[in-house]
Amino acid sequence: MADETVILQKADMLATITLNRPQVNNAFDYPMMERMDEVINDVSQDENVRVVIITGAGKAFCAGGDVSYLGTLIENRAAFARTIIGDVVRRSGNMPTVVLKIRNMMKPVVAAVNGVAAGGGMGLALACDMRIVSDKARFSTIFIKRGVIPDCAATYNLPRLVGMARACELALTGKIITAAEAERIGLVNRVVPHEDLMEAARELASEIAANPPLAVGMAKAALYRGMIETDMSAQMDYENYTQNALMGTEDFQEGINSFMEKREPIFRGK
């Protein structure tokens, strides 16, 4: 597994995805993007996986695009446009597609940010539903320093997480912020000592995984829908529709039975 660009491990209803190019701070090239796309498809379809954790090997989470790789693409501008910008979201095997699949997946995704998350790596972390980060983590949109704009949905997610003024400051300066600052402005859920990172991420993931997966997936979908829905009445209609569907599941009945019987529920995703 040492030579795989992305490592996938599954245990106890959790899938851990490790970006594995530590020699370049887990910066992604096209083969790594293709592999990431395959892994996301795998965990999305695996009924035994309830929560996904994404982290990085070595000292970094992800430094974004591999600059040396991008330099070769610039020599062929058509290939560059197809791979990095333009209509990339219509193709498979690239980071924008991975970001979309993470957001649309009916499973929570936790970023365990172990070090620097820059450029597209920060975009990937922001696309996850929650972020548990090491006290050694650092964040930067960095794109402006390369003459381009943030991608991987960072311009969508960043202002929704920290507000427009702070998003503008981060995107237009390309400044690096610490884990503590990221927590202060609401960019991350929690900062933990570096050595406790994966334990904390797994603890959160396991707590979620113990809940009924159908309800968890639909709650995730409802929250993101509510973030962009402008009509509160329409959102409540969606909630009622979803509630009615979930009340017909075995897990709903198990939730009621376990409460009445004063025991811990066992949810089976049915």
Write out pLDDT tens, residues 71-107: 555 555 555 455 544 444 445 568 889 999 999 999 9
Q: What is the pTM of this model?
A: 0.90
- Asked if residues 193 and 181 have their Cβ atoms less than 8 Å apart, the reply is no
Mapped onto helix, strand or coil, the DSSP state of residue 247 is: coil
pLDDT digits (tens, 9 = 90+) for 15-50: 999 999 999 999 998 889 999 999 999 999 999 999
State how far the Cα of 29 lies from the Cα of 103, in Å rounded to an integer: 22
By the 10 Å C-beta count (0-12 exposed, 13-18 middle, 19+ buried), 247 is classed as: exposed
- DSSP string for residues in 206-246: HHHHTS-HHHHHHHHHHHHHHHH---HHHHHHHHHHHHHHH
Mapped onto helix, strand or coil, the DSSP state of residue 98 is: helix
In terms of Cα–Cα distance, which of 55, 34, 103, 1 is closest to 199? Answer: 55
Most confident of 1-15, 62-76, 146-160, 189-203: 189-203
Residue 7 β-bridge partners = 18
pLDDT number for residue 176: 97
Q: What is the dihedral of CA 225, 165, 109, 209, to 10 degrees?
A: -80
pLDDT number for residue 202: 98
pLDDT digits (tens, 9 = 90+) for 204-263: 999 999 999 999 999 999 999 999 999 999 999 999 999 999 999 999 998 999 999 999
Residue whose structure tokens are 């560059």 = 80
Residue whose structure tokens are 């050694």 = 136
State how far the Cα of 125 lies from the Cα of 108, in Å rounded to an integer: 13
| Residue 118 Rama label (left phi>0; alpha psi -120 to 50; beta) | beta
pLDDT digits (tens, 9 = 90+) for 97-142: 999 999 999 999 999 999 999 999 999 999 999 999 999 999 999 9
